[in-house]
Amino acid sequence: MTGKLPGAWHLLPQLLLLRELDPAAVAGASWYAMCLDFVAAKLTGNCVTEPTTAAGSLLFDIARREWSAELLNHFDVPADKLPPVVPSGSVVGELSTDAAAATGLPAGVPVVLGGQDQKCAALGAGIRSGVATASLGTSTAVTVLADAPGFDAATKIPCFPFVLDRVWEWEAPLATTGGALRWLRDVLARDTDYAEMDRLAAESPPGANGVTFHPHLAGAASPHWQPERRARFTGLTLGTSTADVIRAVMEGVAYEIRLNVDALERLSGRLDKVQVFGGGARSRVWCELIAAVLDRPVQTVQRVETAALGAAMLAAVHGFGNDLAEAQAALLPPGETLAPSRADAAAYDALLLRYLAE
C-alpha cells in the first residue's frame, strides 16, 4: 500500500514518538504537515500537500493517491489533521500580503505546489521511459518510471507516485556517493581540489591498481539495506598512489550505481541510458567511469539545480497549461552524452565480481 519499508525518517514513526513524549502538542496541532505543506501554508494560508510528499508519511495509499483510511484507523491518526491532497503542480492559492512583504514578491502571484525534491529533480533531469536518472550529490537516488505502483520484496526498492498523473517511480537510494569523495578530500587530500582529483583519477587504470573501496560511510542503503555496514578499502600496498585511492572511491560509487541500475532494470525493463545530474556530474572522468561500469551511455545534465528546474516545469505544465515536452525543450539544455569505452566496460564486468567478492 505505501510502497516502502518503514524508516525512522517517515512522518508516522515521528508522529507516534511525539505523541508519546508530548501528547498535548500532538492533540493541539492544527495540521500534521511536512515541509512542503508548511511552506504552502505560509505563502498562501492554505495547508495542502501532494502525492509525492504525502507518500513519505507511511500513511498514504500510493495506488489511490489518497490518505489510507485503513492506516489512519490502525494508528489512530485523525484524518482532519492531515492536509488535503492535490495533484503535483496545482495552483494552491495566491501569495498573501504577509508572505509578499517577507519575500519581496508582489501579493497575488499564483503559488504552484511542486513535489518532493528527488521527484522534481528526476523530472528536471529528463527522466522518461527507458531512461533512468541518477543524482550524483552527497548521496544518490537512482530513479526509473513505472506504469503501476507496487512493492518488490526481493529488492525492497521504494515505490512512489511521480509528479505526473498516473505515473509512479522506483527510487533506489545510495547513502554516500559524492559525500565519499568529499570525505576523501577533507581527510586525506586537503590541499587537492576536485579538478586535481579528476586529473589524478584519470592517471590510474580501471581497477585502481588493485585498490577497492566500498563507499558505505553511512551504512549500505539500496540494494543491500544493511545500515550497520561500514566503508572500507582493500588492496592497499606500499605502491598505492593517491591517484589509485581517488579512482577507487569513484569506482566504488559506480559499482553501487550499477547494482541498483541492474535491480531497477529487473523491475522496469531495459534502461538504455542514465541521465546524471548534481555536483558530481561536473566530473567528466567520473561520468565516463560510470558509463563504463554501467556499460551504457551516460548523459550529463548541465543544470545543477534540477529539482528547482523540475518544479518550474511542473508549474509550466500543470499550473499554466503548457506541454511537458515543450517545457523540457525550453528549460533543459541538452547535455553531453558519454558512450562507454568497450575495453573499459569489459574490464569493469570482471572488476565488479571482485568488488562483490570482497
Nearest of 62, 324, 84, 276 to residue 167 by alpha carbon = 62
Report pLDDT digits (tens) over 36-88: 999 999 999 999 999 999 999 999 999 999 999 999 999 999 999 999 999 99
SS3 175: coil
First to last CA, the chain: 37
Does 304 score more than 80 pLDDT? no
The pLDDT of 301-322, averaged and rounded, is 83
> What DSSP designation does 83 have?
P
Which pLDDT does position 319 carry in this prediction?
A: 65
Decide: 77 and 31 in contact? Cβ < 8 Å: no
Confidence of residue 316 (pLDDT cuts 50, 70, 90): confident
Query: How many residues are present in the chain?
Result: 358
pTM for this one? 0.93
The mean pLDDT of 263-291, rounded to a whole number, is: 95
Domains of the chain: 11-107 (3.30.420.40), 115-358 (3.30.420.40)
Q: Which amino acid is at 320?
A: F
Mean pLDDT of 154-168: 95
